[in-house]
Structure 1
Amino acid sequence: MNLKAYYEKLKGSAMACIGFILSPLSWWNDLYVNIPIAYFCAWVFSLFYPDLFMHAFVVSYLATNVLGFVLLHKGIRKTLSKDDSQKVRYGWKDFLKDLAISLLYTFLIVILVKLNVILPFQEYKAIMK
């Protein structure tokens, strides 16, 4: 195997690992990865537009899930041989399926925000006083 092919497989492996970490395929990913990333993005956004915390949280959470699926598929494809890579396509149908799964998870997050389980930092401080 030449160096360039090895580098491409290594790059694909890294993409697939990052994709797996971001995708909702593991039980721990939401608690330790996606929710903190989405929460941080929404918190920063809420500093400027406080009323849009939930919207920013939902969009950020959905984006991390979809990005995870896309990186996982693209990364795995890069690690396969050329013949196998041609058999594994990631088209619109796959993307829409990944989006639908991500939307289901996002719906659960919306419920948590609506029930005030997830709030901006500022509001937690107000509750603690």
Structure 2
Amino acid sequence: MTQKPLLARLAAQRQRLRGGLVATVGFILSPLSWWNDLLVNVPLAVAFAWVVALVDSRLFVPGVVVGYWLTNVLGFVMLHVGAEGALTGSTPAYTRRRLARDLLLSVGYTLLVVLLLSLGIVSLPAGIFG
């Protein structure tokens, strides 16, 4: 049985650590953590909307929605890429198929939230839209 050279093992360990950090940030951004919206995603979405509103102030609310959605998509992408890197010790290729899957998951999550809002199962805090 041959062992990997020390430098190769250290590089794999470094990649695992990097993958773990990327996965952790991805989890924080993803909709899988129940507390992330108030502390992370909404402030990032509002910051994104402020930038978008510089073009036209009427774009602020759509900017919040798009910014929030983008933080969730980014979270899923980072979670998947980071977890694979942490488990395998190598940098995985991020294919179009994987991106499509992450986008579909995010769209599905968004549609679920819209459905829950429209059915009155969950509601927005007072004053969000006016």
What value does the CA root-mean-square deviation take over the aligned residues? 2.8
What TM-score does the superposition give when structure 1 sets the normalisation length? Answer: 0.70
1:51-90 alignment runs, 5 A limit: 51-81=58-88
Q: Distance in 2 between matches of 1:5 and 1:118?
A: 49
Q: Is the 8 A contact 2:16 2:88 kept in 1?
A: no
Structure 1 or 2: more helix by fraction? 1
Contiguous gaps of at least 5 residues in structure 2 = 1-5, 118-122
Q: Distance in 1 between matches of 2:99 and 2:51?
A: 32
Query: Which residue is 2:43 aligned to?
Result: 36
- The one-character-per-residue Cα deviations of 1:4-40 (angstroms, maximum 9, x if unpaired) are 1011101100110000000011111001100011011
Fraction of identical pairs, as percent: 42
What TM-score does the superposition give when structure 2 sets the normalisation length? Answer: 0.70
Q: Is the 8 A contact 1:23 1:64 kept in 2?
A: yes
Contiguous gaps of at least 5 residues in structure 1 = 120-129
Greater than 6 Å deviation, 4+ residue runs: none
1:1-129 alignment runs, 5 A limit: 2-81=9-88, 91=98, 94-104=101-111, 107=114, 112=124, 116-118=127-129
How far residue 104 of structure 1 moved from its aligned partner, in angstroms, is 3.1
